[in-house]
Each structure stands twice: as C-alpha cells, then as structure tokens.
Copies of this chain bind each other. A is one copy, B any other.
Amino acid sequence: MNSDIRKILESVRAGSVSVDEALLEIKKDPFLDLGYAKVDLHRKIRQGAAEVIYGSGKTPEQITGIVGALRDAGQNTVLITRLSSEAARQVALVHPLDYRPEARAGIIGSIPVPDGIGTIVVATGGTSDIPVAEEAAVTAEVHGNEVLRLYDVGVAGLHRLLNHMDDIMKASVIIAVAGMEGALASVIGGFSDCPVIAVPTSVGYGASFQGLASLLSMLNSCASGVAVVNIDNGFGAGIIAGRINHMAVKQ
C-alpha cells in the first residue's frame, strides 16, 4: 500500500503525473483490512480530517486494534466517539487515553494547536444538551479549532443569551445544540451573520418524540444561514464546523 503511494508520488516528482492527478489517485486508494473493519489510512488526505473511530458497537479489543493500526500508519491524533467509560478504561490500558466523560469521547495523541479562521461557538439550550455539545466541541478541537462553550443559554431565559451577544457576534461558526423545541437555532440565526450548524438533541419527553420536534423546528428555522445535522450528532456538527472554520487556510 505504502509502495503504491510512493509510486504515485515518484511519478509526480518525475513529472509524468500532475499533482491533481496524484491527489485523485491517492483518494481512490487503499485501506487496511483488519477483518472486523476496513481502516481508512488516507482519510486525512481525502477529507481533511483525522481518523475517527465510532466506538459504539465495537469491543475494546477492536478499538485498541484499530488505534494501533492507525498509529502505526503515522496518524498523530485519533478520536474515539461514543466511548463508554468502561470501554475507555480498557483502551487506556493499551494506549494513553485522554477520556472526556461528558463528551463520551476519548483522544489518543495530542490535540493540535488551533489554526482555523476564528472561534467556533458551541451553545446549548439547557444543561441536558451538554453531552452532545461536548462531542461537537471535542471533535472540533481535535481538528484544530478554537472552541468557546456557551451552555444553558436557552430561549426561555433570553437574557442569558443576550449576555453573550459579543461572543455570538464574534464567532466564525456557531453550533447551536438544543432539544425540546429547538428555538435556540432560530434566535441565534437571527442575531448572527455567520454560518450556524444546528444540532437537535433527543432531550425532552412526550411530543418531543426523541428529538423529532427540535429537528423539524430547526429545519424550518425562519432565520436564514442555518443548516442541520442528525439528532444528537455532535460529531457531525463538529466536523462540518471545523471544515468551515478552515476554509481560508485551505486555499
């Protein structure tokens, strides 16, 4: 596999292959087959993101094995999401692990120095939304973003949000995390002129229908500049916010 990439790069150096062609070639490239998973060793090249392991439904042994393969391939930082504290304890026996219980996430390797355009603000409507928000925040930090957390600023006490107007207005991207009626996204979207990534959460009961109410609410936001990810998908919000925050740098 490595030899494949070396060949491509040598062709580039030799001028027989253009840089663009090489990049395309590499993107079509290989992965390591561990039996229980096809580990994508080049995703950072292809998608601008460190490898992330979705921990839910994987045994600690499987996680440990994937981490080992990635580290062997030179990956500096590995993020493990949806990692239970029990699994974390077992993974930590093999790899040095920075476990964040609120985010249910584990980090192996160092968190990079922020190099994005600005600050990503992660705001939540209530305290129960914090686990999803933390997953978003940690994901963004692992991908080189500075993150500012504004928790429990829901619209039922709008003065809490108004107190942080400066932060809202200075943000380069805002991740609005809310369950129940999800109005936070609309209110933030109305105040701000930066892209807003809305994350509905399954917080609520009764007619919240496990996050459906806030999902629909956010999709129908009367404020423009709002896009939505799946219910409880803090990880997805962190990824796209991170990409947005690195746009100028990329070019």
A residues lining the B interface (CB < 8 Å): 20, 23-24, 27-29, 31, 36-38, 40, 43, 46-49, 52, 57-58, 117-118, 125-128, 152-160, 162, 165-166, 169, 172, 180-183, 185-187, 189-197, 200, 202, 204-233, 235-237, 239-240, 243-245, 247-248, 250-251
Instruction: Please measure, in the bound complex, the distance between the C-alpha atom of A172 and the C-alpha atom of B157, giving whole angstroms.
Output: 20
Instruction: Indicate if the CB atoms of B213 and A207 lie closer than 8 Å.
Output: no
Q: Which of A187, A206, A221, A226 has the most CB of B within 10 A?
A: A206
Using known A-B contacts A181-B218, A216-B212, determine if residue A195 contacts B23 with beta carbons closer than 8 Å: no
Contact yes or no, B244 A219, CB < 8 A: no
Contact A156 B222 (CB under 8 A): yes
- Tell which of A31, A153, A202 has the most Cβ of chain B within 10 Å: A31
Count this chain's copies in the assembly.
Answer: 8
CB distance from A36 to the nearest CB of B (A): 6
Complex CA gap A127/B88 in Å reads 20
Measured CA separation A108–B1 after assembly (Å)? 42
| Contact sample, A vs B, 21 pairs, CB 8 Å cutoff | A24-B169, A28-B159, A28-B162, A40-B157, A57-B127, A155-B187, A157-B190, A181-B182, A181-B217, A193-B243, A195-B243, A197-B227, A206-B215, A207-B212, A213-B220, A215-B219, A224-B240, A225-B243, A227-B237, A247-B248, A248-B251
Beyond the given pairs A155-B222, A182-B217, A207-B220, 12 more chain A to chain B contacts, judged by CB atoms under 8 angstroms and listed by A's residue number, are A48-B193, A117-B248, A154-B222, A172-B251, A183-B217, A193-B243, A205-B233, A206-B231, A208-B216, A225-B239, A225-B240, A244-B247
What residues on B are CB-neighbors of A160 within 8 Å?
Answer: 31, 38
Q: Using A190-B157, A244-B244 as known contacts, say yes or no to A232 and B219 having CB atoms under 8 A apart.
A: no
Q: Which of A156, A223, A231 has the most CB of B within 10 A?
A: A156
B172, A46: Cβ atoms closer than 8 Å: no
- Are B186 and A156 within 8 A (Cβ)? yes
Q: Residue of B at shortest CB range from A152?
A: B38
Indicate whether A172 sits within 8 Å of B247 (C-beta atoms), given known contacts A186-B181, A219-B213, A231-B207: yes
